[in-house]
Amino acid sequence: MYHFQPKTLKAIAEFLGARLQGDANCLIYGIASLKNAGKGEISFLGNAHYRKYLPSTKASAVIVSKEDAGLCPVNALITDNPHLSLVKLASLFDKSNPLKTGLHHTVIVGDECEIPTSVSIGAYTVLGDRVKLGEGVVIGAGCVIGNDCQIGAHSMLRARVTFYDKVSVGEKGLIHSGAVIGSDGFGFANEGGAWIKMPHLGGVRIGDRVEIGANTAIDRGAIEDTCIGHGVIIDNLVQIGHNVHIGANSAIAGCAAIAGSTSIGEYCLIGGGARIAGHIQLADHVHITGNSAVNHSLSKGVYSSGFPAKPAELWRKNVARFNFLDEMAKRLRALEQRVSNRIEKMRTEEE
């Protein structure tokens, strides 16, 4: 539940550009889910799966599409995109505490750094040499920023983010706790059974307005930089290998893994748990559904693989049958050939 200073539905509707259906003077004190909302709270219906909760909702108002407006038993704000409207409403009443500018006395700063007075740097953070920060940068407690790193204006690093050397982040970025940016990629050569490590000489370049989730790892390039385009959003626990390029405004959900030297286009959607092989290309607007495995280049479209969960007994039977697929295919081809021969023989006899 998200509480804030009360606003009238009329004021909220004007802010969202929504059409008001109901009492314009109704006061809203908080935001809650459609199922659990009560008096004085506003909710939203953005997914048909939750439509079953609309007739019985106790919310004072609901943000709905025009298709659902007639089903709403309470006050309604009607918009083309209820989920987007909710995001805007929540941001309007964001109660995040303003941060104090300046450096905590425990911060360690290397040589030749550029640090504006408008930044905020938390306790026990370490900045290497030649670090350059933009105006209004916020760095949480316990972060480590390597040599020759740059962070653009008004970007924020939550606590315990680690940047290796030669990492650059654009403006208005957000990187969550535990993320590691610029570690060595998984690059080795084998010599007589022994693994010889490839020195990684590149860095990581991240564009403007990029959000990176908690405990995500992005490897530095082996020779050239790993690159993340403007407006990309990356969820928690994502692995991005060395030399990967991700185009602008793509979205990658949690636990996805992208192997090295793969190029992903703009506006791509990568579902949770997806695995993408190295040295391939995904065109713009490719959509990979969750838990899919991709081992070759793809053009524009939606792609899926993997097996959804089934009852255990049925799954065991399917696995057992899977072992005989090749034999079954051979038998089917033989049967098709016999049928084809029989049909041809019948035609010949008729002639």
Q: What is the rounded CA–CA span in Å between residue 47 and residue 212?
A: 25
- Whether residue 88 contacts residue 80, with contact meaning beta carbons closer than 8 Å, is answered with no
The alpha helices in the chain, defined as continuous H runs, are: 9-16, 82-92, 312-322, 325-350
Asked if 12 contacts 28 with a C-beta cutoff of 8 angstroms, the reply is yes
The question of whether 242 is a catalytic residue gets the answer yes
Do strands 2-8 and 27-31 pair parallel, antiparallel, or not at all (unpaired)?
antiparallel
- Taking the C-alpha atoms of residue 104 and residue 117, their distance in angstroms, rounded to an integer, is 13
Interatomic CA distance for residues 98 and 101, integer angstroms: 9
Whether the Cβ atoms of residue 218 and residue 240 lie closer than 8 Å to each other:
yes
Amino acid at 85: S
Catalytic residue among 176, 242, 245, 287: 242
Residues 6 or more apart from 319 whose CB is under 8 A from it? none
**Among all residues, which ones are annotated catalytic?**
242
